[in-house]
Structure formats: C-alpha cells, structure tokens
Structure 1
Amino acid sequence: MSAFHALTLTALDGTELPLEQFKGRLLLVVNVASECGLTQQYIALQALYEQYQAHGFSVLGVPCNQFGKQEPGNAAEIQTFCTERFGVTFPLTEKLDVNGSTNHPLYRLLAGEGAEFPGEITWNFEKFLVDGQGRVLARFSPRTEPNDPQLLKAIDEALAV
C-alpha cells in the first residue's frame, strides 16, 4: 500500500476517513476555507465531483485555518456551511495545518521534501491530483478554477475518459 493510502484522517463528523478507500480512484485534494475570496470554488468542485464520480474520481476537501484565519468555524459549522450554501457531498476532513512545523503528514507527502511537487501551500484552494496508486500527478494553484481546461485535461487523461 502506498504511503498516501496508509494515512487515516478524521472526517468532519468525527469518523475515521482512511485514504485507503480512495485506492484505485483519482482524487483531487483541496485545502478549503469558508471565508476566502475563492470559496465560490466549492460550486465548481461539487460539479466536478458529480461529473466524474462514476468514472472513479473524488474530491477531498481539507479545511485549513492557516491563511488569514479564513476557516474559523468548528466541524459542525463547516459542514453546515458547505452543505447548505454549496450542496457539497464530497468528503471533508477535520481542519488540518498544511504548512509549517505542525503540518499534517498528508501535506508532508503532497508537498514536503521529496514530493513530486514540493513547496509551501500558497493559499486556500490549492489542488493536488492524486492517482489511484497514491502518486501526485499534478499540482494546481489556488486561483486555478476546478473547471479550468488544464485541470480538466489532467483529469480526463488520468481517467482515460
């Protein structure tokens, strides 16, 4: 099993969220925030999830409060916000740190030393495309919209749709 799929996170509802469940699926990992200028990306992320879910694709939202304290809510508040405001049905984790000495092991794998696309996470809504074997295929900036042609091309190629 890959180091990526060996990780277990905690979902917003407090249950375990083993990344092993995404083995064999293409996954877009996105650090998200409720009070960010980019929060509207939830709409396109949900649309992407719905469009490609049947083809072996998922989105994983990772709330983070490290950028301008733009994710101040607790787990229940974040879940309510995402569900009621944007109709989010893709999985969301508990809040995680993505940078610094307290960054979560998930982000050490995605962007740490020795990663395929290393470097600090620059802001909310940075995206990593991870294949079914746990390899990071691409990294997209926060301003890259989920329906950006380059991101869609990467998904299509990885899924061969």
Structure 2
Amino acid sequence: MTRFHDFSAIDIDGHERALSEFAGQVLLVVNVASRCGFTPQYAGLERLWRERGERGLSVLGFPCDQFGRQEPGDEAQIRDFCALNYGVTFPMFAKVEVNGPGSHPLWQWLRREKRGFLGFLGDGAIKWNFTKFLVGRDGRVLARYAPNQKPESLASDIDRALAEPRSG
C-alpha cells in the first residue's frame, strides 16, 4: 500500500527531499499560489504550523501555476513573497502540476486517495489553488478540504489527528 512517505519532491531551494522525513507527523499538504484570492490563507497556514508544530504538525506548501496563472514566479520569487508578505517558515516545495499528465506523482496519489466533492464521478482533479489534504502520522490521507475552507476551520480535525499515538 502506498503512503505519503513513499514519495519525494524537490524543495523550494532545489533539493530533492524524501517525504519519509515527515514520517510520524501529521501533515497538511496544500497547493498554493501567490496571486490568488485565497493567498491570504498563507497567514492561517503559518499560524497552524507555529501553534501545532511542536506537537507534530507540518504544513507543506506546493506552489502551482495551473489555475489562472496565479503562481507565475520562479521558486526564489515565491519563497521571498511568502516570507516577506506572510512570514512563512513552513516547508515549501518547488512548483508542481497537480492535474493532468504532468502532475507530480504525489498529487496523483492524493487525488486518488480523496477524490473530493463528486469525486466518484471523475478523476478527483484539484479544482483550484489552496486545496488541502490532511495526512495522518501513518502516511494515509485522512481528509480533503476545498480551497475556500480557511486553515483555522481545520483545527479540530488536525487536533484529533495529533492526538493519535505516534507509531514506533
């Protein structure tokens, strides 16, 4: 059975990272964009990370330019924008595609695991920026959230996942 920790991704600084580095943590995985109406959610994501990071939460941002060309910059521009405008310190990754034939294998897997609203009728495609996936300590997807769901509205689900015992 495939789990989150079986994948790797290039981080925002260009280094390949094995996602097994996050084993045992609760993860909030988000496709992000700097010029989106939902971009202010960066502040809420950072708050979740700062308030719950010591308890085992990691927020992981994956920039994506597939929706309205709302992430046009390169990785350095994205990193600087996030740090300067929202104080982002949570792990960020290189720009990825989340839909279509060029989509990152992690995002193909996430879409299969939780197809979203009416997903049983389609391929589970990501509909817009700031779609969020909650991944448990065991690397299984617990939930998928729509772009308009603000990070703070996920706090109780995250707290429940954090309350689960750490494995081995």
Identity of aligned residues (%): 50
The 1:116–1:68 alpha-carbon spacing in structure 2 relative to 1, beyond 3 Å, is closer
Q: Give the TM-score normalised by structure 2.
A: 0.90
Task: Report SS of the residue matched to 2:151.
Answer: coil
Q: Which amino acid aligns with 2:5?
A: H
The 1:88–1:34 alpha-carbon spacing in structure 2 relative to 1, beyond 3 Å, is same
CA distance in structure 2 between the aligned counterparts of 1:122 and 1:95, rounded to whole angstroms: 17
Q: Would you say 1:143 and 2:117 are equivalent positions?
A: no
Deviation, 1:133, is 1.4
Cα RMSD for the two superposed structures: 1.4
CA distance in structure 2 between the aligned counterparts of 1:105 and 1:25, rounded to whole angstroms: 20
Deviations 1:25-81 (A, max 9, x none): 000000000000100000000000000000000100000000000000001000000
Unaligned runs of 5+ in 2: none
Deviation, 1:2, is 4.6
Unaligned runs of 5+ in 1: none
1:156 corresponds to which residue?
A: 159
CA distance in structure 2 between the aligned counterparts of 1:28 and 1:86, rounded to whole angstroms: 17
The answer to which of 9-18 and 34-43 deviates more is 9-18
1:26 corresponds to which residue?
A: 26
1:70 corresponds to which residue?
A: 70
1:92 corresponds to which residue?
A: 92
CA distance in structure 2 between the aligned counterparts of 1:45 and 1:133, rounded to whole angstroms: 21
Q: How does 1:116-131 map to 2 (within 5 A)?
A: 116-117=114-115, 119-131=124-136
1:81 corresponds to which residue?
A: 81
Q: Give the TM-score normalised by structure 1.
A: 0.93
1:43 corresponds to which residue?
A: 43
Aligned residues: 157
Q: Which amino acid aligns with 1:28?
A: L
Task: Report SS of the residue matched to 2:61.
Answer: strand
CA distance in structure 2 between the aligned counterparts of 1:59 and 1:88, rounded to whole angstroms: 10
Q: Does the CA-based 8 Å contact 1:2-1:133 persist in structure 2? A: no
Task: Report SS of the residue matched to 2:28.
Answer: strand
Deviations 1:113-147 (A, max 9, x none): xx243511010000000012110000000000000
Deviations 1:63-109 (A, max 9, x none): 00000000000010000001111110000110000011111101111
Runs of 4+ that moved beyond 4 A: none
Q: Does the CA-based 8 Å contact 1:23-1:132 persist in structure 2? A: yes
Q: How does 1:4-15 map to 2 (within 5 A)?
A: 4-15=4-15
